[in-house]
Amino acid sequence: MALFSDVCRSVRTLLGQCQRSTAAAAWSHSQSSRKYSQTAPEPEPVISDNEAINKTFVNRNPRNLEQMALAVKDRGWATVWPSRQYYHRLMFRRTQHHITAEVYSSDSVDPVLSCSTKEWALKRELGSTRSVAACRAVGEVLAQRCREAGITRIVYREVPWKFRSESVSFFPSMLFKYYTLMVKICRLIHANFFSTAESDILGSHERGWRHA
């Protein structure tokens, strides 16, 4: 009986070792298959200097908001005359010999645009450099320069008694009238050359003004 029990114990030990080895082999196989079934990690993208996002935003075109009338004007000047709540301000000066018109921005002490009868190209076409015709010429030239520079909003304020002069009262009306005429001409050219709805590109002026 002792011999039989020893044989049974040896058989149980052998079977246990076989089961443990089988389980270990199965576990290692499952781990290896799981390892190979996983996708390979993707490499991290390399960000160049051109693609990096700067934490500080700098508006490189501040005039864009101004042309859309979304820029915030300088406030807090309610008790000051003239008020500084504007984008651009027009200054008109008339001396004993010449007429000068200048356009200032809200954050600059130097004029961004100017026109004067001191300029030879304008002076040689005028009989007098301080007459009503000179004011009209200065207004037309300044309107053209404002249109070319993209200045679309201007504030013009003067004390009331200065408008008693015919030249002073004639200058702003001529400036804004000529500027509006230039805008309509540009729209007319755009409508004539870029409109696909019109069959006749060189259509009549009435049709062009209707587009404007």
Q: Are 142 and 113 in contact (CB under 8 A)?
A: yes
Segment 67-103, tens digit of pLDDT? 777 787 777 777 777 677 788 888 888 888 888 889 8
DSSP secondary structure code for residue 196 in this structure: S
Q: How far is CA 167 from CA 27, 82, 171, 173, in A?
A: 102, 21, 6, 10
Q: Examine residue 187 and state whether it is found in any structural domain, yes or no.
A: no
Mean pLDDT of the chain: 69
Q: Examine residue 115 and state whether it is found in any structural domain, yes or no.
A: yes
Taking residue 146's Cβ as centre, other Cβ atoms within 10 Å add up to 23
Q: Examine residue 3 and state whether it is found in any structural domain, yes or no.
A: no
- Counting the structural domains of the chain, the total is 1
In this structure, what are the phi and psi dihedrals at residue 102, rounded to the nearest 5 degrees? -135, 150
The CATH number covering residue 142 comes to 3.30.420.80
Number of residues that this document lists for the chain = 212
Q: Examine residue 70 and state whether it is found in any structural domain, yes or no.
A: no
Segment 26-74, tens digit of pLDDT? 666 566 555 555 566 677 777 676 777 777 777 777 777 787 777 877 7
Domain that holds residue 123: 83-179
Q: Examine residue 97 and state whether it is found in any structural domain, yes or no.
A: yes
pTM: 0.54
Q: Examine residue 160 and state whether it is found in any structural domain, yes or no.
A: yes
Q: Examine residue 211 and state whether it is found in any structural domain, yes or no.
A: no
- CA-nearest of 144, 117, 120, 148 to 133 is 117
Find the DSSP H helices in the chain: 2-37, 63-67, 120-123, 132-149, 166-194, 205-211
